[in-house]
Amino acid sequence: MGIIDGKMVASQIKGNIADEIKILEQKTGKIPGLAVVLVGDDPASAVYIRNKNKTCKKLGFQSFENILPENTSELTLLNLIDTLNNNDRVNGILVQLPLPSHISSNKILEAIDPKKDVDGFHLENVGRLVTGNATFKPCTPAGIIQLLDHYEVNIDGKNAVVLGRSNIVGKPIFFLLMERNATVTICHSHTKNLSTITQSADILIAAIGKPNFVTKDMVKNGAVVIDVGINRVGDKLVGDVDFQPVLNKVNLITPVPGGVGPMTIAMLMLNTLQAFKNFISLKI
């Protein structure tokens, strides 16, 4: 049994990114730029944005912060996206979700230039992911694969079970695991005999947003458990997995916090670096 250290793996990835940016800046005189858009004053989103800005500065990225009031119109936001699409110093655009209810998330995500869609949510990039030709893999699922690789978890031929079918985690991780020759089952609120399915998982990924939902009896001995959930219970952050009892039964498990979370920002930076490299190769 062992704990997967997402902070350590993310730190290594970010160190490699910082080194590469220095080399690219010497060669081109340019650095990658990431624009973050936040509408409203959701405290969790604000913390996330602050962390992204700090990471940008630390790694040598240029950060473009756009914080708009809650009552911003859809048209104003679309105009901002258009401006960022046409700014050559911006290589990646990230719109913080959820957006206020009067703004269509789909319309906004579709307005982002697919070449700058570092979240991988544009329909063109989703299509590329589904067909195995991803330009940008969504950050959290990509981070999960990186963690499995770092800890030398063999995905090929394994039974993988994913709890949750969101467009952000559940669906994309399904395709990434299948690309690596896993046999993948997605479970959701309508799934019958859930425990029977989870007990068959060599790799179990929980992304449903229900604190301590996955209990010890739902998990196979020696499984690898990836907990994507971040739930506030009192003054504590807990995952979707009942961590301590499950830890004693499995081979590897991610903690919350400190597991998948740090990888999401590392993958965002990696995608932005890739977008920058794609852009400069077009310009050369």
Nearest to 13 by CA among 268, 278, 282, 281: 268
Among the listed residues 14, 115, 119, 220, the single catalytic one is: 119
Nearest to 186 by CA among 171, 167, 196, 169: 171
Determine how β-strand 203-206 pairs with β-strand 224-227.
parallel
* Known catalytic residue at 117: no
Tokens of 40: 């409203």
* Known catalytic residue at 227: no
Among the listed residues 14, 96, 117, 171, the single catalytic one is: 96
* Known catalytic residue at 14: no
Catalytic residues: 52, 96, 119
